[in-house]
């Protein structure tokens, strides 16, 4: 599947089949994360691959919105190193996008579980501490997200988007009438 098709096909999948992901496909997903760009080419983001069912079940309790991890075959925890790069959050987020598109291109589904919460420092601290303690993540690293991956239990309908003109401007920003 080409990249644009993967972008068009990508959906948030929160219901997965009980089907293992082949080792070679997991390796491809890891490679997508590894190849994702980072500011100044620094390793400002690191990844923890979780396939252990008990750990995935525990990770599902990170927030009330990650119950789908109980069905996911794998979880990819993305952490950022704020001490290494001021672009840690962008780098970690871009890596997650690369993973999601790679998963989609392999007919896998994925869901994004936000751990870092930029607007609520206390909530972020609580979420990050939970994952940090569970996976022995050093205090200096920020836990950005957990992406659950597996084979989709259902094929979602095509996404209905707003008109292209709603978000595109030419040469300069132009206020649009609502």
User: Is pLDDT above 90 for 97?
Assistant: yes
pLDDT exceeds 90 at position 83: yes
Q: Residue 6: exposed, middle, or buried by beta-carbon count in 10 A (0-12, 13-18, 19+)?
A: middle
Which residue has 């995935």 as its token pair? 56
- The span from the CA of 62 to the CA of 161, in Å, is 30
Whole-number pLDDT of residue 103: 98
The DSSP line for 29-77 is HHHHHHHS--GGG---EEEEEE--HHHHHHHTTSSTT-GGGGT-SEEEE
Q: pLDDT at position 171, please?
A: 93
Percent of the chain with pLDDT over 90: 91
CA-based nearest residue to 3, from 101, 95, 94: 101
Number of H helices, E strands in the chain: 5, 4
Closest CA to 130 of 70, 69, 55, 28: 55
The structure's pTM equals 0.94
Please report the pLDDT score of residue 178 as a whole number: 62
Quick: pLDDT tens for 19-50.
999 999 999 999 999 999 999 999 999 999 99
**String of DSSP letters for 3-32:** HHHHHHH--B---B-S-PPPHHHHHHHHHH
More confident residue, 98 or 177: 98
Distance, CA of 81 to CA of 86 (rounded, Å): 9
Domain spanning 3-166, CATH class? alpha beta
Q: Report residue 157's pLDDT band, with 50, 70 and 90 as the boundaries.
A: confident
* Digit-coded pLDDT (tens) for 105-150: 999 999 999 999 989 999 999 999 999 999 999 999 999 999 999 9
Query: What pLDDT shows up at residue 72?
Result: 98
Quote the CA–CA distance of 69 and 62 in Å, as a whole number: 10
Q: Which residue has the tokens 């790069």?
A: 85
- Nearest CA-CA partner of 78 in 145, 152, 5, 157: 145
Average pLDDT over residues 165-178: 87
Domain spans in the chain, listed from the N-terminal domain onward: 3-166
- Closest listed residue to residue 29, CA positions, set 82, 113, 92, 99: 99
pLDDT of residue 177 exceeding 80: no
């Amino acid at each position: 599947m080409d990249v644009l098709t993967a972008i068009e096909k990508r959906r948030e999948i929160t219901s997965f089949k009980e089907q293992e992901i082949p080792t070679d496909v997991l390796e491809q997903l890891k490679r997508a994360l590894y190849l994702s760009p980072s500011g100044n080419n620094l390793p400002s983001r690191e990844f923890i691959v979780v396939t252990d069912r008990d750990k995935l079940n525990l990770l599902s309790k990170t927030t009330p919105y990650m119950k789908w991890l109980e069905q996911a075959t794998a979880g990819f925890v993305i952490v950022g190193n704020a001490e290494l790069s001021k672009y840690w959050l962008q780098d970690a987020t871009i890596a997650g996008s690369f993973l999601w598109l790679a998963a989609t291109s392999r007919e896998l589904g994925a869901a994004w579980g936000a751990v870092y919460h930029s607007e609520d420092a206390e909530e972020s601290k609580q979420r990050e501490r939970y994952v940090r303690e569970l996976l022995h993540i050093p205090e200096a690293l920020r836990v950005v997200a957990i992406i659950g991956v597996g084979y989709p239990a259902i094929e979602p309908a095509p996404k209905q988007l707003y008109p292209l003109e709603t978000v595109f401007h030419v040469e300069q920003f132009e206020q649009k009438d609502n």
